[in-house]
């Protein structure tokens, strides 16, 4: 009878160990899933912040190139070079803006498109204009909204 009792306890012990292993496996899976989610959010946040940094840098490149286009120069060839570089920077800004807008709603996408259109207009107008202060008024407002969106979204994707 003692052997029977001992074998019954061994069966119960085996069941307890199996259930404990099962619970540990579920817990480990839960922890792994949470860790993976945290890593994915951190990568998404990093990519978004990097894109925001790139679009801010590109915006100021456009402003610099337009400023150089408007600066008095002896040769007209330099202005053409700056115009091409400014147009290239506007295209880059439009591409990055589209990428950033994919994370947001249609209103934001429309505002980013407006900024690209406004900068394109500025680059075209800078070929004949001579007043740099008046060119960037609306673009600066649109850019301030874009910058605020970057800050708000980067904080919202936080860990």
Give tens-digit pLDDT for 44-91.
888 888 988 999 999 999 988 888 888 766 455 667 788 888 889 999
Please report whether residue 13 resides in a domain.
Answer: no
Answer yes or no: pTM beyond 0.85. Answer: no
- For residue 65, what is the domain's CATH number? 1.20.120
On whether residue 87 sits in a domain, the answer given is: yes
Name the domain count of the chain.
1
The answer to whether residues 159 and 41 touch, using CB atoms and an 8 Å cutoff, is yes
* 9 found inside a domain: no
What DSSP assignment string belongs to 23-79? HHHHHHHHHHHHHHHHHHHHHHHHHHHHHHHHHHHHHHHHHHHHHHHHS--S-HHHH
**Per-residue pLDDT tens for 10-34?**
889 999 999 999 999 999 999 999 9
Containing structural domain, residue 96: 47-156
Q: pLDDT at position 127, please?
A: 76
Specify whether the CB–CB gap between 150 and 100 falls below 8 A.
Answer: yes
Whether 78 is in a domain gets the answer yes
DSSP 74: S
Q: Could you tell me if 103 and 48 are in contact, meaning their C-beta atoms sit under 8 angstroms apart?
A: yes
Task: Please give the share of the chain, as a percent, with pLDDT higher than 90.
Answer: 30
What backbone phi and psi angles, to 5 degrees, belong to 149? Answer: -60, -40
- Give the separation between CA 33 and CA 39, rounded to whole angstroms: 10
22 located within any domain:
no
Asked if 52 and 100 touch (Cβ cutoff 8 Å), the reply is yes
pLDDT tens-digit series, residues 31-48: 999 999 989 888 888 888
Contact predicate 92/136, CB 8 Å: no
18 belongs to a structural domain: no
Cβ atoms < 10 Å from Cβ of 72: 5
DSSP secondary structure code for residue 158 in this structure: -
């Amino acid at each position: 009878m003692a052997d029977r009792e001992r074998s019954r306890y061994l069966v119960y012990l085996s069941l307890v160990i199996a259930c404990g292993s099962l619970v540990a496996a579920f817990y480990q899976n839960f922890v792994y899933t949470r860790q993976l989610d945290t890593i994915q959010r951190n990568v998404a946040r990093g990519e978004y912040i990097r894109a925001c940094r790139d679009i801010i840098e590109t915006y100021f490149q456009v402003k610099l190139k337009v400023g150089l286009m408007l600066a008095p120069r002896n040769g007209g060839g330099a202005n053409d070079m700056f115009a091409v570089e400014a147009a290239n920077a506007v295209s880059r800004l439009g591409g990055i803006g589209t990428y950033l807008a994919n994370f947001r709603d249609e209103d934001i996408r429309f505002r980013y498109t407006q900024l690209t259109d406004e900068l394109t207009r500025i680059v075209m107008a800078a070929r004949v204009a001579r007043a740099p202060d008046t060119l960037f008024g609306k673009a600066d407002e649109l850019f301030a909204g874009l910058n605020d969106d970057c800050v708000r979204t980067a904080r919202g994707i936080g860990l």
